[in-house]
Amino acid sequence: MKLVVAVVHADDAGPCSTALTDAGYDCTRIGSAGGFLQKGNATLLCGVDDTEVDAVIDVLRHAARSRNEYLNPLPPMTEPAELFVPFPVEVQIGGATVFVLDVARFEKI
């Protein structure tokens, strides 16, 4: 038994959980926050048999697409006389970060 932990962008959480459910996999969705961009994420937990891990990752690969977005960086701490003009920065968002963990025991009650 494996636990698939997928961290996805908040915009991809709905399509990912729907795609997993449509493919016959139960998943639990937990809200989380990203570290670099401080954007909303979702963490999806899915317990599956060892042979189904690749299928779950394939579903996530198709449902969580990466894309580019322009963001304005936060201004650094400046002195009152300094002028900071932020320019939009292109960053890649979306996709999924997937961890596969061994599960010693699984019970559905």
What is the count of structural domains for the chain? Answer: 1
Residue range of the domain that includes 22:
2-74+86-102
Residue 81 placed within a domain:
no
Q: How many residues does the chain have?
A: 109
Are the CB atoms for 44 and 13 separated by under 8 Å? yes
Tell me what pLDDT residue 53 has: 96
pLDDT of residue 81: 54
Find the CATH number of the domain harbouring 60: 3.30.70.120
* Rounded Cα–Cα distance for residues 11 and 31 (Å): 12
Asked, for residue 79, whether it belongs to a domain, the answer is no
Rounded distance, CA 34 to CA 18, Å? 22
Rounded-to-10 torsion of CA 51, 27, 30, 4:
0
Each residue's pLDDT expressed in tens, for the chain with a length of 109 residues: 999 999 998 888 999 999 999 999 999 999 887 655 566 789 999 999 999 999 999 999 999 887 777 766 666 555 555 555 567 777 666 788 999 999 999 888 8
